[in-house]
């Protein structure tokens, strides 16, 4: 069933909420989801709960909006990805079978939230600056558009931990770009800058340093002008949800997690007192 | 085509300017982590600035183990 047109956006919905890790507000037909968990918007249990709360609020927000912007209000960047310290701490406390069960539950919950944002009828825009790594990159990939500034960097560093991306990054990256870049990022664990992302077709415009949010807001204002029926239909056509591959990714992640090398790599990352943890 | 010395000078100029340290205090043999007081996230920031400045792509694994300006400049030079 096609969605209502822009002319019938509800005006009686007020959407504003602030939690410890994120906040959102609705204004002039645009929802802004702001991540603000210092220092680098790492995605752990608390942010997952806040994201679930956001997903619960979406139906109401969607009745009064045409676009959504997701951005990170931390100096380091959009998001450095999963909270590895929390993951290691939790895994250390339990027997491995229980740890894997816990990991699977977390992944299923984050997938549910990200799939909900991915399939939202709103046109979604990730405004990216600084690090957009791992789970952070996966959050950006659920959006219809990624607007980076020229200092943004994208990376799937999971290989360095003996893992693969677990929040849906592989099927979504495959959906967006060619195989050469997919393999390069997944098999070398390297990061790429916004210029490279532009030439690879991951993004279609790059903002000046510090201007990603402003450009995203201008883009959202443009989107809001149009009748939503057509854009919702177009989005469904051009951006199918790769449901089976997403489920398979969770399985592979959970198969890899029990390897001793994974906990060893996590410990090395967390205990690294030097300046190098985010470098390959 | 730039020489390695020219490239090294530009790397030092950019690092001094962005991280607000006296240019005169930097030498090519300096450990840039220690001299600039930066961590890996800031090192990525420096890498991005250098890529943008020189118009190159420098995979971050190419700077693995690199901690002085001269070697960093050599890696950049190899991409010009």
Catalytic annotation present for A255: no
**How sure is the predictor about B66, in pLDDT bands with cuts at 50, 70 and 90?**
very high
For chain A, percent helix, then strand, then coil, each to nearest 5?
50, 20, 30
Is A10 a domain residue?
Answer: yes
User: First and final CA of chain A: distance in angstroms?
Assistant: 47
Question: Does A150 contact B at CB distance below 8 Å?
Answer: yes
Asked whether residue A133 is domain-assigned, the answer is yes
Average pLDDT, chain A: 93
The interface pTM score, or ipTM, of the predicted complex is: 0.91
| Mean pLDDT of the region A166-179 | 96
- Out of B33, B43, B52, name the one closest to residue A195 (CB): B52
Shortest alpha-carbon distance between residue B23 and chain A (Å): 22
Q: Is A244 domain-assigned?
A: yes
With respect to residue A279, please indicate whether it lies within any of the assigned structural domains: no
pLDDT at A5: 43
Omega of the bond leading into A212 within 30 degrees of 0 (cis): no
Residue from A152, A279, A280 whose CB has the most chain B CBs within 10 Å, to mutate:
A279
Q: In angstroms, what separates the C-alpha of B40 from chain A's closest C-alpha? A: 5
What is the three-class DSSP state of A77?
A: strand
d(CA A48, CA B53): 38
Residue matched to tokens 């854009």: A231
Q: Is A158 a catalytic residue?
A: yes
A137 vs A135: CA distance, rounded Å: 5
Q: What confidence tier does A277 reach under pLDDT thresholds 50, 70, 90?
A: low
Banded pLDDT at A1 (limits 50, 70, 90): very low
CATH number at residue A227: 3.90.226.10
d(CA A264, CA A274): 17
Which tokens go with A184?
A: 């390069």
Categorize the per-residue pLDDT at A7 as very low, low, confident or very high, splitting at 50, 70 and 90.
very low
pLDDT at A12: 65
Give A11 or A118, the one with higher predicted confidence.
A118
Dump pLDDT digits (tens) for A33-56: 999 999 999 999 999 999 999 999
Q: Would the pLDDT of B45 be above 60?
A: yes
CA distance B7 to A109: 49
Interface of B with A in 8-37 (CB under 8 A): 33
Decide if A280 is inside a domain. Answer: no
**Tokens, residue A47:** 């942010």
- Predicted structure pTM score: 0.93
Q: Of A41, A275, A276, A280, which to mutate for an interface test with B (greatest number of B Cβ within 10 Å)? A: A275
Q: Does B51 touch chain A (CB under 8 A)?
A: yes
Q: What is the mean pLDDT of residues B22-48?
A: 93
- According to DSSP, the residues that pair with A16 across neighbouring strands are A25
Domain total of chain A? 1
Q: What residue ranges define each of the domains in chain B, with the CATH number in brackets? A: 4-77 (1.10.1200.10)
pLDDT digits (tens, 9 = 90+) for A59-103: 999 999 999 999 999 999 999 999 999 999 999 899 999 999 999
Helices B69-77, B4-19: inter-axial angle, 10-degree rounding: 120
Q: Domain residues for A100?
A: 6-270
| Torsion angle of C-alpha atoms A220, A226, A232, A237, degrees rounded to 10 | -100
Question: How many angstroms away from the CA of A208 is the closest CA of chain B?
Answer: 12
Indicate whether A41 belongs to any domain: yes
**Predicted local confidence at residue B39, as pLDDT:** 86
CB distance from A233 to chain B under 8 Å?
A: no
- Determine, yes or no, domain membership for A221: yes
């Amino acid at each position: 069933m096609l969605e209502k047109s822009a002319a019938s956006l509800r005006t009686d919905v007020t959407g504003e909420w602030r939690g410890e890790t994120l906040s959102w507000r609705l204004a002039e037909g645009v929802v802004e989801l702001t991540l603000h968990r210092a220092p680098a918007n790492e995605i752990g249990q608390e942010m997952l709960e806040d994201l679930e709360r956001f997903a619960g609020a979406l139906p109401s927000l969607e009745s009064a909006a045409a676009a959504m912007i997701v951005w990170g209000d931390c100096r380091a960047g959009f998001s450095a990805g999963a909270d590895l310290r929390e993951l290691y701490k939790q895994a250390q406390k339990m027997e491995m079978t229980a740890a894997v069960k816990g990991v699977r539950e977390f992944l299923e919950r984050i997938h549910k939230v990200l799939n909900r944002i991915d399939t939202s009828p709103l046109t979604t825009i990730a405004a990216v600056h600084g690090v957009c790594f791992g789970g952070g990159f996966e959050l950006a990939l659920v959006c219809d558009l990624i607007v980076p500034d020229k200092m943004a960097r994208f990376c799937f560093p999971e290989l360095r931990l003996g893992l693969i991306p677990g929040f849906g990054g592989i099927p979504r990256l495959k959906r967006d770009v060619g195989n050469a870049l997919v393999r390069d990022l997944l098999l070398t664990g390297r990061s790429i800058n916004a210029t490279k992302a532009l030439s690879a077709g991951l993004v279609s415009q790059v903002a000046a340093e510090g201007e990603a949010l402003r450009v995203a807001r201008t883009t959202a204002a443009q989107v809001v002008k149009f009748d939503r029926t057509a854009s919702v239909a177009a989005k469904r056509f051009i951006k199918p949800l790769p449901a089976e591959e997403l489920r398979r990714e969770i399985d592979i992640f959970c198969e890899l997690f029990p390897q001793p090398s994974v906990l060893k790599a996590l410990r090395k990352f967390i205990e690294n007192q030097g300046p190098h943890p985010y470098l390959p | 085509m730039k020489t390695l010395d020219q490239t090294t000078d530009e790397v030092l100029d950019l690092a001094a300017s962005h991280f607000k340290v006296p240019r005169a205090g930097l030498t090519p043999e300096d450990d840039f982590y220690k001299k600039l007081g930066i961590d890996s996230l800031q090192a990525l920031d420096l890498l991005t600035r250098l890529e943008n400045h020189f118009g190159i792509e420098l995979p971050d694994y190419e700077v693995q183990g690199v901690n002085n300006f001269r070697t960093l400049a050599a890696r950049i030079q190899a991409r010009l």
